[in-house]
Structure 1
Amino acid sequence: MRYNGYLVDLDGTIYRGKEIIPAGKRFVETLQKKDIPFLFVTNNTTKTPEDVVQRLKNEFEIRVEPEEVYTATLATIDYMRDAKRGSSFYAIGESGLIQLILQAGFTWNEKDPDYVVVGLDSEVTYDKLTTATLAIQQGALFIGTNPDKNIPTERGLVPGAGSLIALLETSTQQRAVYIGKPEAIIMEKALEQIELTKQEVLMVGDNYETDIQSGIRNGLDSLLVLSGFTTKEVVPHLPIKPTYIVDSLDEWTF
């Protein structure tokens, strides 16, 4: 089936950690050659779109524009604008999250913010968690940038943003509004960004729990590539199959 556009994951699909996946690079180059719209959709909130573009260029020789990268941070900002709960926020996260929210016109507020946004923070402290807990208890809208409990690294599976959010859900007895894959919010905003409908777009990724569930839960066709998180051994046991499964993106025909 021919699709008018593609939503594409990054880590595990285009590269694996610090190594390029050659078929992933060729996949992007084919999209560019055929002038097919695509958008990288990532749950990573530690990097800005410009950071992602520079990394793709410098490390993997993939050249794209910032407008072709849609992060959970951007989806979070779009959600905050739509929510219209106020203009102040407190966040647990890194510069790729906090600086972009500030640039979007929101103001930092540790005492009584309108929003508490929680993403991955490699320098999280008990004091930060306490500030967030108290603000949520006082009525701030609790936003979790993405539900990823772990991040795969060369050391193993380390805590992800979802682990920090879960801690705050316990301390506040409130469930966060989740933004990133596989939630509807980031997918709806990504479709707005690429200016296509669900029926026109294919979701491509290596992680059944995030990328493929993004398609399944939100009515998009999905392509699972077995180059990263989800392995061939688990495919027979998947409760709902992706629309397509390939060992390598070289197998995909446009």
Structure 2
Amino acid sequence: MTYKGYLIDLDGTIYRGKTRIPAAEAFVHDLQARGIPYLFVTNNTTKTPEMVQDNLATNFNIQTPIETIYTASLATVDYMDEMDLGQSAYVIGEKGLREAVTNAGYTDESENPAYVVVGLDSQVTYEQFALASLAIQKGAHFIGTNPDLRIPTERGELPGAGSLNQLLAATTGVDPKYIGKPMAIMMEKALERLDMTKTDVLMIGDNYMTDIRAGIDNGIDSLLVLTGFTKADEVESLPIAPTYVLNSLSEWSFND
């Protein structure tokens, strides 16, 4: 099948940690040469789009316009703008999330914010959790940037943003509104960025639970590439099969 556009995960798909994936680099270069629209869609909220852009160019031989990078931070702000509950927020998160919220015009407020927004933060403190808990109990709209409970690292699996959100959910009795993959919100906003419909695009990723479920759960064709999180021996037991499974993006045919 021929697709008009591509939604593409980053870590595990385009690169693996600090390791290059040459087939993925060649795939992006091929998209660019063919003039096919694409959007990098990542749950990582720690980095700004500019940081992601620089990382791709410096370490992975991919030059890409800033408009082709869509993070869960940007999707969160798009959601907040759409909800229109107020212009204040208490944020737990790193630079990518904090800068996105600030740049969108939201003021930092810990007492009575309109929103409590929680993403991955490796330096989070108990007091920050306390302030967030109290604000949620007062009625702040509780947003989790993404539901990832664990993040794979060189040290092993570490707590992800979803784990931080679950701590607050257990404390307050309020479940967060999750934004990132595989949730519908991020996928709908990504399609708006490309100005395409669900049947126009293919979602490509290495993680079945986030990338591929983002496709399956939202009516978008999906391509699982076995260069990252989900392994080849797991494919047969997946509850719902991806549209495609490839060992490498070098195996993909554009069918033109």
- TM-score range relative to shorter protein: over 0.9
**Deviation sequence 1:214-235 (CA, Å, 0-9, x none):** 0000000000000100001110
2:250 is equivalent to residue 253 of structure 1: no
Rounded to whole Å, the distance in 2 between the matches of 1:238 and 1:24 is 24
1:134 maps to amino acid: L
* Equivalent runs, 1:169-188 vs 2, <5 Å: 169-188=169-188
Q: How big is the shift at 1:185?
A: 0.3
Q: Which residue of 2 aligns with 1:12?
A: 12
> Distance in 2 between the 1:29 and 1:152 partners?
27
Partner of 1:59, secondary structure, is helix
- Secondary structure, aligned partner of 2:6: strand
| 1:30-49 correspondence runs (5 A) | 30-49=30-49
Give the drift of 1:99. 1.5
Structure 2 unaligned segments of length 5 or more: list them.
Answer: none
Aligned residue for 1:70? 70
Matches within 5 A, 1:70-109: 70-109=70-109
* Secondary structure, aligned partner of 2:31: helix
Q: Deviations for 1:56-106, whole angstroms, at most 9, x for unmatched residues?
A: 011111100110000000000000000011110001001110111111111
d(CA) in 2 for partners of 1:130, 1:91: 12
Counterpart of 2:241 in structure 1: which amino acid?
Answer: K
Paired with 2:22 and 2:162, the residues of 1 have a C-alpha distance of 30
* Correspondences of 1:172-251 after superposition (within 5 Å): 172-251=172-251
**1:27-78 C-alpha deviation (Å, 9 max, x unpaired):** 1011001110000000000111111000001111110011000000000000
**How many percent identity over aligned positions?**
60
Count of residues in Structure 1 that have an aligned counterpart in Structure 2:
254
Partner of 1:28: 28
Cα shift readout 1:5-42 (whole Å, capped 9, x = no counterpart): 00000000000000111111111011001110000000
Shift of 1:186: 0.2
Superposition TM-score, scaled by structure 1 size: 0.99
Unaligned runs of 5+ residues in structure 1 are none
Which residue of structure 2 aligns with residue 56 of structure 1? Answer: 56
The amino acid of 1:50's aligned partner reads E
| Structure 2: distance between partners of 1:234 and 1:96 | 33
Deviations 1:88-125 (A, max 9, x none): 00010011101111111111101100000000001010
| Matching residue's letter, 1:119 | G
CA distance in 2, matches of 1:61, 1:233: 30
Give the Cα–Cα distance (whole angstroms) in 2 for the partners of residues 252 and 69 of structure 1. 22
Question: Hey, what's the Cα distance between the residues in 1 that align with 2:48 and 2:94?
Answer: 10
CA distance in structure 2 between the aligned counterparts of 1:110 and 1:176, rounded to whole angstroms: 17
